[in-house]
Amino acid sequence: MALTGLDIFKLLPKTNCGECGVPTCLAFAMALAAGKTSLEACPHVSEEAKETLGAAAAPPIRLVTLGTEADDHRIEIGDEQVLFRHDKTFYHPCAVAVEVRDDLSDADLQARLDKINGLVFERVGLEYKIDLVAVTNASGDAARFAAAAKKVADSTKFALMLVSEDSGALREALEAVAARRPVLAWATEANYEEVVALAKEKGCPVVIKGDGLDATAGLADKVSKMDHKDLILDTGARETAEVLADLVHMRRLAIKKRFRPLGYPTIAFTTEEDPQAEMMQAATYVAKYASMIVIRAVERPEVLSLLTWRQNVYTDPQKPIQVQSKVYEVGEPGRDAPVYITTNFSLTYYTVEGEVAASKIPSYIIPVDTDGTSVLTAWAAGKFTGESIAETMKNLDIESKVDHREVVIPGFVAVLSGKLQEASGWKVLVGPREAAGIPAFAKEKFGK
Ligand code: SF4
């Protein structure tokens, strides 16, 4: 059971020296109990107290790393501090694993791996990709499982996961790919001593699967006493509502009650056959609160929709994704190329860029630094004004790149035309309100 603020206070020096950054030991104890500071902030705490307070000072959900640095796929999961993103932020995006069964024919296995290797996307200036390949022992044959694991390891750089309840099969497959430090699944009530010993021996994270929430907590407690702490929790539920309820309970108990046996990252497995239904199921688990999911879909449109959703959930709401404010070239613009103005919110910029490219007229785009806010938000906040646009144009020296003096602003801020014209000396053209109107606008204004 987690210690309360008063329990912690009794173990502190009670000198109120303030060196920890708060004025009193009581305030520090309360902050430590709430997970808002760490024990290291107090330089005067005794060794005995450190030992007792260790549990209270630990994060509510343990940080677990997957994969290795060497294959460029080291992933961190867990270590979340809040229930709701708007309370603070979420730190470690849900890791997405794609399943590969070991009963596929060689040709089907290769075809699936080719598709999996293609699940890397570039969107709004960021790279989206899946994180792991989960090899499942569907054949029940240990040698076949090991061969499939080796084939996957040789054919992909993604981190690996080995899925079997047969500890002998896990051992054989692990021997083949131990250097990749795969996640081992599953340690169950029946096999946990062998599987956890195997995980400890090779330094691998292990998924423990209980039969329901209580049994999972009990098993996690037993496994943690074997001195292996890199655990991922699976309650064994597979029906969507049940999985969701378990994930929510685990997160609440870990964060709000500091219930240590459930203070580990969690995993969920999709079961829907239809790919779109599967993505809806996966999206539900990404939102609340899986640290890791295993999916079967390998088609790019479906997986991109899931990764986009993940990106949204795990974007810090206080720090919108931004592009650098500079002069961007679309195509090979000449000295008569149009100049478009927008804001540096990534989604806005890349939407505009896509439509400018679709116009097939080489152009310049200047995203003004509005702290990553969209056009109307930036205008309403006073961050997108005639003066700030003119200043950006001057600082980026757009004058030296074109012979004309015409600039296009978004239709939603037509009201800025006069001020911008006055501040820059350029003629202002009011573009369409929606980016989708740019190709027709460009054709009419700049088409030859
Ligand atoms: S640094 Fe330690 S002793 Fe000083 S006020 Fe903070 S908790 Fe108390």
Domain that holds residue 441: 328-446
Same domain, 110 and 249: yes
Q: Which residue among 10, 15, 26, 38 is best mutated to probe the pocket of ligand 1, counting the most ligand atoms within 8 A of its Cβ?
A: 15
Same domain, 127 and 207: yes
Confidence at 333, pLDDT banded by 50, 70, 90: very high
* pLDDT at 420 (0 to 100): 97
Greater confidence, 341 or 10?
341
Same domain, 402 and 309: no
Strand 406-409 relative to strand 427-430, pairing: parallel
Greater confidence, 328 or 54?
328
CA 21 to ligand 1 center in whole angstroms: 8
What atom of ligand 1 comes closest to residue 19's alpha carbon? 1
pTM for this model (two decimals): 0.76
Same domain, 280 and 354: no
* pLDDT at 56 (0 to 100): 62
For 81, other C-beta atoms within 10 Å of its C-beta total 16
Strand 126-129 relative to strand 120-123, pairing: antiparallel
Of 57, 76, 93, the position where a domain reaches its end is: 57
Whether 323 maps to a domain, the answer reads: no
CA 55 to ligand 1 center in whole angstroms: 19
Average pLDDT over residues 302-324: 89
The counts of H helices and E strands in the chain are 16, 17
For 180, other C-beta atoms within 10 Å of its C-beta total 24
* pLDDT at 4 (0 to 100): 80
Question: Can you spell out the DSSP letters for 369-382?
Answer: -STT--HHHHHHTT
Whether 319 maps to a domain, the answer reads: no
Instruction: In whole angstroms, give the CA distance from residue 269 to residue 281.
Output: 9
CA 34 to ligand 1 center in whole angstroms: 16
Is 44's C-beta closer than 6 angstroms to any atom of ligand 1? yes
Tokens of 287: 């939102």
Instruction: In whole angstroms, give the CA distance from residue 266 to residue 347.
Output: 31
The enclosing domain of 401 has a CATH number of 3.40.50.11600
Whether 133 maps to a domain, the answer reads: yes
Q: Which residue among 11, 24, 37, 44 is best mutated to probe the pocket of ligand 1, counting the most ligand atoms within 8 A of its Cβ?
A: 44
Average pLDDT over residues 145-171: 96
Q: What H or E segment, with its residue span, contains residue 347?
A: helix 346-359
Is 25's C-beta closer than 6 angstroms to any atom of ligand 1? yes
Same domain, 72 and 13: no
The enclosing domain of 23 has a CATH number of 1.10.15.40
CB proximity list for 30: less than 8 A, separation 6 or greater: 5
Is 53's C-beta closer than 6 angstroms to any atom of ligand 1? no
Residue position matching structure tokens 């699936």:
112
The enclosing domain of 263 has a CATH number of 3.20.20.20
Same domain, 48 and 89: no
Q: Which residue among 25, 37, 38, 40 is best mutated to probe the pocket of ligand 1, counting the most ligand atoms within 8 A of its Cβ?
A: 25
The per-residue pLDDT for range 214-229, each reduced to its tens digit, is: 999 999 999 988 989 9
Same domain, 107 and 255: yes
Judge whether 28 and 20 are in contact, CB under 8 Å.
Answer: yes
Confidence at 55, pLDDT banded by 50, 70, 90: low
Whether 93 maps to a domain, the answer reads: yes
CA 53 to ligand 1 center in whole angstroms: 14
Residue nearest to atom 7 of ligand 1 (CA): 25
Instruction: Judge whether residue 158 has pLDDT over 60.
Output: yes
Instruction: In whole angstroms, give the CA distance from residue 400 to residue 405.
Output: 11
Q: Which residue among 26, 28, 40 is best mutated to probe the pocket of ligand 1, counting the most ligand atoms within 8 A of its Cβ?
A: 28
Taking alpha carbons only, the member of 397, 415, 239 closest to residue 326 is 397
The per-residue pLDDT for range 363-372, each reduced to its tens digit, is: 999 999 999 9
Residue nearest to atom 8 of ligand 1 (CA): 25
Judge whether 254 and 61 are in contact, CB under 8 Å.
Answer: yes
The per-residue pLDDT for range 256-280, each reduced to its tens digit, is: 888 989 999 999 999 999 999 999 9
Is 20's C-beta closer than 6 angstroms to any atom of ligand 1? yes
Same domain, 71 and 48: no
Instruction: Judge whether residue 71 has pLDDT over 70.
Output: no
Taking every pair of Cα atoms in the chain, the longest distance, rounded to a whole number of angstroms, is: 81
Is 57's C-beta closer than 6 angstroms to any atom of ligand 1? no
Strand 183-187 relative to strand 159-163, pairing: parallel
CB proximity list for 349: less than 8 A, separation 6 or greater: 124, 125, 323, 328, 342, 343, 365, 367
Instruction: Judge whether residue 38 has pLDDT over 90.
Output: no
Q: Which residue among 11, 37, 42 is best mutated to probe the pocket of ligand 1, counting the most ligand atoms within 8 A of its Cβ?
A: 42
Determine the Cα angle at 287 with ends 241 and 218, to 5°.
Answer: 60
Is 39's C-beta closer than 6 angstroms to any atom of ligand 1? no
CA 43 to ligand 1 center in whole angstroms: 7
What is the tally of structural domains in the chain? 3
Instruction: In whole angstroms, give the CA distance from residue 333 to residue 329.
Output: 7
Is 18's C-beta closer than 6 angstroms to any atom of ligand 1? yes
Tokens of 241: 């509502």
What atom of ligand 1 comes closest to residue 25's alpha carbon? 8
CA 44 to ligand 1 center in whole angstroms: 7
Same domain, 206 and 220: yes
* pLDDT at 318 (0 to 100): 75
Q: How far apart are the first and last CA of the chain?
A: 74
Instruction: In whole angstroms, give the CA distance from residue 295 to residue 286.
Output: 12
Same domain, 104 and 225: yes
Taking alpha carbons only, the member of 184, 174, 266, 257 closest to residue 220 is 266
Say what the alpha-carbon torsion angle 432, 436, 441, 446 is, to the nearest 10 degrees: 120
Judge whether 353 and 439 are in contact, CB under 8 Å.
Answer: no
Phi, psi of 347 (to 5 degrees): -65, -40
Average pLDDT over residues 38-57: 81
Confidence at 90, pLDDT banded by 50, 70, 90: confident
Same domain, 133 and 251: yes
Instruction: Judge whether residue 36 has pLDDT over 80.
Output: no
Judge whether 266 and 232 are in contact, CB under 8 Å.
Answer: yes
Same domain, 281 and 415: no
Determine the Cα angle at 121 with ends 116 and 122, to 5°.
Answer: 165
Instruction: In whole angstroms, give the CA distance from residue 6 to residue 21.
Output: 19
What atom of ligand 1 comes closest to residue 29's alpha carbon? 7
